[in-house]
Amino acid sequence: MTGHLTVLTTTDSREAALALARSPVEARVAACAQADGPVTSVYRWEGEIRTDEEWRVLFKTPAARYEAPEAHLRAAHAYDTPEIIAADITHGSDAYLTWLATETTSTAGPLSD
């Protein structure tokens, strides 16, 4: 284990995906995001199989603080029960993992006295 996760969510337009991608990075609860789509989603709704176009967003975040990006995404997402799932990053380049950790560490502003 590296102590980092990939976190995946899915939404209904490219614009919504780009907004969802940006917000957790701005808030430093995710180091970076990649949006891809359209993908074709297949699921059951009220007894019928439905097919919709959706867009995905994949984040990288520290495992120890998984609750922060999840809460952020639940608040920012337009769906009632959005897909939010995560998987362990089990191996990775040391330099890249160090960068991930740095990006999700809050930088204190200058001390005032």
**Does residue number 113 form part of the binding site for its own copies (CB under 8 A)?**
no
**Does residue number 25 form part of the binding site for its own copies (CB under 8 A)?**
yes
CA-to-CA distance for 14 and 20, rounded, in angstroms? 10
**Does residue number 18 form part of the binding site for its own copies (CB under 8 A)?**
yes
**Does residue number 81 form part of the binding site for its own copies (CB under 8 A)?**
yes
State which residue, 110 or 113, has the beta carbon closest to its own copies.
110
Q: What is the sign, positive or negative, of the torsion defined by CA atoms of 14, 38, 75, 108?
A: negative
CB of 47 to its own copies, least distance (A): 9
β-pair type (48-62, 4-11): antiparallel
Cα distances (angstroms) measured from residue 28 to each of 24, 43, 53, 102, 105:
6, 32, 29, 10, 7
Sites of contact with its own copies (CB under 8 A): 2, 4-7, 10, 17-18, 21-22, 25-26, 31-37, 39-44, 49, 51, 54, 56, 60, 63, 66, 70, 74, 81-93, 95-97, 99, 103
